[in-house]
Amino acid sequence: MKLLLDFLPIILFFGAFRLADAHADVAARFATDHLGFAVSGGVVGPAEAPVLLATVVVILATLLQITVLLAMRRKVDTMLWVTFALIAVLGGATVWFHNPTFIKWKPSVLYWAMSVGLWASQAFFGKNVLHSLVGEQLELPPAVWQRLNFAWIAFFALMGVANLYVAYSFSTSTWASFKVFGLSGVMLVFMVAQGAYVSRYVKDEASAEPDPLAEKTVGAETEHRS
């Protein structure tokens, strides 16, 4: 359920954009009739209708996501509130000025905010956010936590740059696909690489712990290590 809620806004954004992009004239008339009051000039053209409608959809989907979590009496993460604020402000600007540039900046601003947050927590407060989040489930040397923190700082910073590069170098349609599949794919690869890196230290720590069965029999030791 949580996984569906997490991906619901971006899935709906992409679906709404593709549907509207395939029927741009119809989308323009629909947007003008139903969103004209929220758009400067009151008229939406075929070229801008897809991203405007997709932006409205993602704003409503994120609001629904928060509403469902509150209704279930579950905590709404700070990052989700930040995401909603960025979508509401930048998405609202995109709709009003019927200019996709504002919503295209949203991923970069969010990535850079996370990068600065990780850096500032470490630099000014001596707090490693990653360690605070998963330190109880994963025991690693302090130096490794430090490297992981800096790796995520650099990763988020570069993701923000990559998003703007695609946004300004390619069409809005290409950017929408990159936002959904490209950025998500790179994130997945990076997390897998992080897992492979961390696993080396987890194995080392596990092998360094004394084996209480080793003093009994060789067979028991073999079973324990397997």
Name 101's Cβ contacts closer than 8 Å, sequence gap at least 6. Answer: 94, 167
pTM summary value = 0.81
The pLDDT tens digits of the residues spanning 143-182 come to: 888 999 999 999 999 999 999 999 999 999 999 999 999 9
Q: How many other CB atoms are there within 10 angstroms of residue 185's CB atom? A: 11
The pLDDT tens digits of the residues spanning 73-113 come to: 888 888 899 999 999 999 999 999 989 999 999 999 999 99
Q: Which one, of 58, 74, 59, 67, lies nearest residue 15 by Cα?
A: 58
CB distance 100 to 146 below 8 Å = no
Q: Which one, of 180, 186, 196, lies nearest residue 159 by Cα?
A: 186
Residues across the chain:
226
DSSP character for 170? S
